[in-house]
Chain A
């Protein structure tokens, strides 16, 4: 679990985006901020800011400790709250005098929180009802989210899917909850989900939502989401059930416990016709592989990354087109090996998160997949990367644009490219300035060699992939449309827009 320290005032406010990101993506985290001395509080003292007030709506809990005797209890509570139940960020604001005061140390064995109880076991009657619904379903579909990963319910999910032959769609943050190469896996659903995943959600008669929160990027227009389906929603957080989408069978509880109870009641079935339907969609609307392109396309990079890492690396992304390409094409074989910013869509998430991932799992190969726009939002972290010698491999999908917004401008605003063309620095020279070895790749042929060189190097490495500037992410469900109304990859790529770049 992540812990971060910041000083009062600007140090604390600089944490806000990170905290909000953790809040929306249920990431356990404790933030410790310094505060001015207790007697200065409320006086607008130097570097005094009301950080508990600022972070109130973006933390699972927060507190201002005014007495050193309360400090141990506050720390105990913070860690307990952050990592249990639905995880989330907790902030403790500690005035300077509280930090330097001395008291008798008593660390409580338990956090005393009468208002914090965790509904662990699902309601048996609801589980029976869900089981009956699943057993009677003709076209069932599972949508698995990050809750499955948090709960460690991979085996249970797999058993549910396999015993009853139910296809599995993943949310963005749930990508590794179910093996991507499994025959029942339909990949990611939603705005940039696979066509067959969205078709399956559209046509299913029972939708089993597990550990996900019906985010609008997944559901599309809510009235058109799984229009013919009865919906079973399993989640630890009761407030997520029925918040965005009507639910027929709500089950509040720990995913692992609920699924293992549910699995006992599921009878084996094949759903032959349904699986056939889906296979036909899979054949009719496959993910675009860019085999007809001579230019360097993001798909080529993802293909070689899959081959080089065998789906065993940790992939950490920024936010934008590159993130969607990574989500669509990464063939993960390892649970929890895809880290991305979901709810907040925080550009600049990639590099610092990849560094955290590498520090947390030093034996893993960690790839930071970033865009040229996203990367520039936090590229100053290269200093920390070098200072602490964190061996992150950075792949920049450089298209000279804030590509996702450009894509919307192209598709929905008549190519009125406002604010999206980027004048990027020379990323290779930038990396070299930090003494990080780097390569520029401009053709398909150079990709595998560059990836190998990066992985063979013992330490951080940067590759600047000069990809097709106007490549778009498809399929795409237009904003406000239902999932079934996805746009597929057009047959011909649009011609390139003149690139504004220092290169």
Chain B
């Protein structure tokens, strides 16, 4: 079976050690975590974890079930098949001298990035988008000399009225979920 990337959203109780539990489960069962991003959700004391995991459909289903089994995990959804918006943020410090600075700024504009810091011989750029967009931007910057990269990992949200907090019940393995696609991708 083919290995694909899946985006899982886990809503977890905001308690000490919960991220350790999630990470430990991945390690112990030999699942591959491509990226993980954690932050507060719309509900107080509930954190939202976005995990990108590579594996066959069966493996990822097992990941989802094992995650759901953790007591502090309130809910897990695999939104890979849904229409979703996914974003990553990257901070890129690139070498910039007076001959190259304007070219870099121009490219940053095209990618709708922001210059967040200017040094004597460097620029720090903030850019958001899906992984492909950030990869292409990085490829363009590489010839100038990239000094440092910080990336957040993917966060994602299902388009339309459906929220990650409704729909699927924890632990039940149905996965088809119809919803009306109303917003347009702007990128």
Contact = CB atoms under 8 A, between A and B. Distances in A.
B114 to A, nearest CB: 38
Interface of B: 12-13, 16-17, 20-21, 24-25, 28, 58, 61-62, 65-66, 68-75, 169-173
A94 B75 CA distance: 29
A78 to B, nearest CB: 10
Contact of B71 (A115, A241, A250, A252): A115
A252 B169 CA distance: 13
Interface string A225-255: 0000000000001110111000000101000
Nearest to B18: A115
21 contacts: A52-B17, A56-B20, A56-B21, A56-B24, A57-B24, A60-B71, A64-B16, A81-B71, A113-B71, A114-B74, A115-B12, A115-B71, A115-B170, A116-B71, A117-B169, A119-B171, A238-B172, A242-B62, A250-B173, A252-B171, A252-B172
A113 B71 CA distance: 7
A239 B65 contact: yes
Contacts of B68: 238-239
A57 B13 CA distance: 18
Contacts of A57: 24-25, 28
B71 A61 contact: yes
B53 to A, nearest CB: 15
A239 B170 CA distance: 11
B186 to A, nearest CB: 35
Contact of B172 (A113, A115, A119, A237): A119
Among A113, A115, A239, A252, the most chain B Cβ lie within 10 Å of the Cβ of A115
A115 B73 contact: yes
B71 to A, nearest CB: 5
A114 B61 contact: no
B10 to A, nearest CB: 10
Contact of A237 (B16, B69, B170): B69
Give the 6 A-B residue pairs with the shortest CB-CB distance, closest first. Answer: A239-B65, A115-B74, A61-B71, A57-B28, A114-B74, A238-B171
A241 B62 CA distance: 9
Among A56, A57, A114, A237, the most chain B Cβ lie within 10 Å of the Cβ of A114
Nearest to A243: B62
B71 A239 contact: no
B67 to A, nearest CB: 9
Interface string A423-459: 0000000000000000000000000000000000000
Interface string A72-89: 000000000100000000
B59 to A, nearest CB: 10
Given A57-B24, A239-B65, A252-B172, A114 B13 contact: yes
Contact of B72 (A115, A117, A119, A239): A115
Given A117-B171, A119-B172, 14 more contacts: A52-B17, A53-B20, A57-B24, A57-B25, A60-B71, A61-B71, A115-B72, A116-B71, A119-B171, A237-B69, A238-B65, A239-B68, A242-B62, A252-B172
Contacts of A53: 20
Among B12, B75, B171, the most chain A Cβ lie within 10 Å of the Cβ of B171
A239 to B, nearest CB: 4
A71 B20 CA distance: 22
